[in-house]
């Protein structure tokens, strides 16, 4: 048995209450005591860490991550931000079940999960066992992705599925929740999940309700039909009885900015009427996803091959161009290419579609289509979606959990992958003062722990798992920018997961030795 004493710091307990000076005693993998320094035992058999001038918080929880594969690889981007737990399997993408269509599953999910051509687990149980054996840093919790579930059962095809396929999806989801998945996610802007009829979603959400887990959704629309999309999800939660978490709530595109406040009011009204609803958001005005999101998702029936065949047909290409342009809430200058597959197109990374239009001497819509053809659909984008005022309203709302939504790409990732948590605490809470520091910490500790059923994490209280992040509240800041995202943040001093020190600052900022 080993004790660790974190001595005389500013304790943020994860509840949002103002901090108080005190100390924390860890014993093995648990928190043993927390309170005023004078009340703590003075003779302990382990290390004493002086936290004078530093904040002591529960380890941060990234409740919306796409690191399903990278948590197995020991990547350190989240650790360096103070993250000790992640929820993966978001927006309909989980790396299981493979079913009879493992190749289709990889093609469907690789734009978000950034995997190779070999990954895939037959069940939640198999994936979770691999997680337990291999995840070095964050403790990962997994949602069952609806898109993955559908591809496993029926391949990458759209529309209503036969009854036997529906039964199979229902049973597989139920098994996954029994085996330890924490909930179910949909990605209703991504084919083929986008084509699921209402009764399919209701049947699956009823399974979630029966297991008393959470349902998270990347909704059908965040632009012109944002409010209808919220209504659809609220209605689904009401009919099925499941808890509802709206993913990355925002109004996309200048033409829709006025809808942000209306969206928040819709959520509040639903909550008042008895739906257990909350939402998450990342602390950036830009978002990121696959380039094919600009197109109507019906064009992706049959996966990448289906889309490429349609684009090869002049009449269909013309029709898709008209539909894509009509559906856009963005300007072409708002959309930047963030990753491509080929070396030849690497020059497009970091440039927006208006710039590429000039460089290539083509209309922006033709640049979009031709990039998808040249890269066999493997193109990611970064889109400037929101206004600063809307971001503030959403982030600071009491129902908002703050998340990274980060994912890896072969190119230039969104800075949220490297900077979300220091950005929230440094820029959003301390510098802009959009919310008190204690409230910012609640949004990444106690609140997500409660929401996702992590009963022994999220708070500094005796008996909980010893996940602790120590940081300098005056120094903490993200250094990740849109131009240069892969930067380690400043001000994180120590990260402890289950009593183990996984990161200490010396490792962080030590300059490379000069040869
Ligand atoms: Zn999403």
- From CA 144, how far away is CA 99, in angstroms rounded? 14
pLDDT band at 339 (very low <50, low <70, confident <90, very high): very high
Mean pLDDT of 24-31: 95
The pLDDT, as a whole number, for residue 201 is: 98
The pLDDT, as a whole number, for residue 136 is: 86
Distance 139 CA to ligand 1 centre (A): 21
The pLDDT, as a whole number, for residue 1 is: 67
Distance 375 CA to ligand 1 centre (A): 22
Neighbours of 167 (CB within 10 A): 13
- At what angle are helices 259-272 and 226-240 packed, to 10 degrees? 10
- From CA 57, how far away is CA 48, in angstroms rounded? 17
Distance 382 CA to ligand 1 centre (A): 13
Distance 219 CA to ligand 1 centre (A): 8
Strand partners, 460: none
Distance 458 CA to ligand 1 centre (A): 23
Distance 247 CA to ligand 1 centre (A): 6
Distance 248 CA to ligand 1 centre (A): 7
- From CA 491, how far away is CA 312, in angstroms rounded? 52
Distance 35 CA to ligand 1 centre (A): 39
Distance 279 CA to ligand 1 centre (A): 12
CB pairs under 8 A, 24+ apart, for 31-39? 31/460, 31/461, 31/462, 31/463, 31/464, 31/465, 31/466, 31/468, 32/3, 32/462, 33/462, 34/460, 34/461, 34/462, 37/7, 37/8
Distance 63 CA to ligand 1 centre (A): 12
Mean pLDDT of 291-306: 93
Distance 453 CA to ligand 1 centre (A): 21
Distance 187 CA to ligand 1 centre (A): 6
The pLDDT, as a whole number, for residue 2 is: 82
Strand partners, 503: 495
Q: Which residue has the tokens 């005190």?
A: 22
**Residue among 368, 445, 400 nearest 15 (CA):** 445
Distance 167 CA to ligand 1 centre (A): 26
Distance 135 CA to ligand 1 centre (A): 23
Distance 92 CA to ligand 1 centre (A): 8
Mean pLDDT of 398-409: 95
pLDDT band at 513 (very low <50, low <70, confident <90, very high): very low
For 9-22, give one letter per residue: b (16+ CB within 10 A) or e. Answer: bbbbbbbbeebeeb
Distance 314 CA to ligand 1 centre (A): 31
What tens digit of pLDDT does each residue of 237-287 get?
Answer: 999 999 999 999 999 999 999 999 999 999 999 999 999 999 999 999 999
Distance 90 CA to ligand 1 centre (A): 7
pTM of the model: 0.94
**Residue among 198, 237, 235 nearest 215 (CA):** 237
Strand partners, 477: 490
Indicate the SS3 state at residue 313.
Answer: coil
Q: Angle CA(360)–CA(363)–CA(369) in degrees, nearest 5?
A: 85
The pLDDT, as a whole number, for residue 508 is: 44
What tens digit of pLDDT does each residue of 189-202 get?
Answer: 999 999 999 999 99
Neighbours of 298 (CB within 10 A): 16
Distance 218 CA to ligand 1 centre (A): 5
Distance 416 CA to ligand 1 centre (A): 13
Mean pLDDT of 419-448: 98
Mean pLDDT of 323-341: 94
Written as six digits, the tokens of 137 are 């840093």
Distance 400 CA to ligand 1 centre (A): 15
Confidence check: pLDDT of 439 > 80: yes
Distance 208 CA to ligand 1 centre (A): 19
Written as six digits, the tokens of 388 are 């600063």
Distance 460 CA to ligand 1 centre (A): 30
Mean pLDDT of 178-199: 96
Distance 331 CA to ligand 1 centre (A): 21
Cβ proximity of 238 and 203 under 8 Å: no
Distance 336 CA to ligand 1 centre (A): 18
Q: Helix, strand, coil: what percent of the chain each, to 5? A: 40, 20, 40
Distance 193 CA to ligand 1 centre (A): 13
What tens digit of pLDDT does each residue of 83-136 get?
Answer: 999 999 999 999 999 989 999 999 999 999 999 999 999 999 999 999 999 888
**Residue among 74, 113, 93 nearest 406 (CA):** 113
Distance 147 CA to ligand 1 centre (A): 12
Distance 110 CA to ligand 1 centre (A): 14
**Residue among 253, 283, 281, 278 nearest 267 (CA):** 278
Distance 186 CA to ligand 1 centre (A): 9
Distance 249 CA to ligand 1 centre (A): 10
Distance 31 CA to ligand 1 centre (A): 34
Distance 251 CA to ligand 1 centre (A): 13
> What is the overall mean pLDDT for the chain?
95
Distance 286 CA to ligand 1 centre (A): 13
Give 140's Cβ-side CA count (13 Å radius).
31
Strand partners, 27: 3, 30
What tens digit of pLDDT does each residue of 48-81 get?
Answer: 999 999 999 999 999 999 999 999 998 999 999 9
């Amino acid at each position: 048995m080993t004790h660790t004493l974190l001595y005389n710091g500013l304790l943020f307990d994860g509840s949002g209450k103002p901090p108080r000076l005190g100390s924390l005693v860890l014993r093995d993998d648990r928190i043993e005591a927390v309170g005023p320094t004078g009340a703590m035992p003075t003779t302990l058999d382990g290390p004493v860490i002086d936290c004078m001038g530093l904040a002591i918080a529960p380890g941060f929880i990234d409740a919306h991550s796409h690191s399903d594969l990278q948590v197995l690889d020991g990547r350190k981007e989240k650790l360096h931000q103070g993250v000790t737990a992640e929820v993966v399997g978001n927006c309909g993408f989980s790396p299981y079940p493979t079913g009879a269509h493992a190749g289709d599953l990889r093609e469907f999910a690789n734009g978000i999960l950034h995997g190779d051509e070999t990954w895939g687990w037959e069940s939640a149980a198999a994936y979770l066992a691999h997680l337990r054996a291999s995840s070095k840093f964050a403790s990962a919790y997994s949602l069952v992705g609806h898109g993955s579930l559908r591809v496993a059962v029926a391949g990458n095809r759209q529309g209503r599925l036969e009854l036997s396929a529906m039964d199979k999806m229902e049973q597989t989801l139920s098994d996954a929740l029994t085996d330890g998945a924490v909930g179910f996610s949909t990605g209703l802007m991504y084919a083929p999940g986008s084509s699921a009829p209402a009764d399919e979603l209701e049947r699956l959400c009823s399974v979630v309700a029966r297991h008393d887990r959470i349902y998270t959704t990347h909704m059908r629309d965040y632009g012109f039909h944002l409010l209808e999309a919220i209504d659809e999800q609220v209605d689904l939660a009401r009919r099925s009885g499941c808890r509802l978490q709206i993913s990355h709530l925002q109004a996309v595109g200048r033409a829709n900015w006025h809808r942000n406040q209306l969206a928040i009011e819709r959520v509040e009204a639903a909550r008042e009427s008895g739906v257990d609803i909350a939402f998450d958001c990342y602390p950036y005005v830009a978002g990121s996803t696959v380039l094919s999101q600009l197109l109507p998702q019906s064009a992706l029936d049959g996966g990448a091959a289906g889309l490429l065949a349609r684009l090869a047909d002049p009449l269909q290409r013309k029709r898709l161009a008209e539909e894509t342009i009509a559906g856009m809430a963005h300007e072409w200058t708002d959309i930047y290419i963030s990753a491509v597959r080929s070396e030849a197109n690497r020059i497009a990374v970091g440039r927006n579609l208006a710039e590429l239009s000039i460089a290539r001497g083509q209309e922006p819509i033709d640049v979009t289509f031709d990039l998808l053809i040249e890269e066999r659909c493997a193109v990611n984008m970064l889109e400037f979606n929101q206004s600063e005022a809307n971001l503030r309203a959403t982030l600071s709302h009491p129902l908002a959990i703050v998340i990274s939504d980060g994912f890896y790409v072969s190119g230039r990732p969104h800075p949220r992958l490297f900077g979300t948590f220091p950005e929230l605490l440094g820029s959003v809470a301390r510098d802009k003062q959009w919310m008190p520091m204690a409230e910012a910490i609640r949004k990444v500790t106690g609140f997500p722990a409660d929401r996702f059923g992590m009963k022994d994490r999220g708070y500094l209280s005796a008996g909980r798992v010893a996940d602790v992040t120590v940081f300098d509240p005056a120094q903490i800041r993200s250094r990740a920018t849109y131009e240069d995202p892969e930067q380690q943040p400043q001000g994180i001093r120590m990260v402890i997961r289950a009593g183990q020190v996984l990161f200490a600052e010396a490792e962080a900022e030590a300059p490379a030795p000069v040869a």
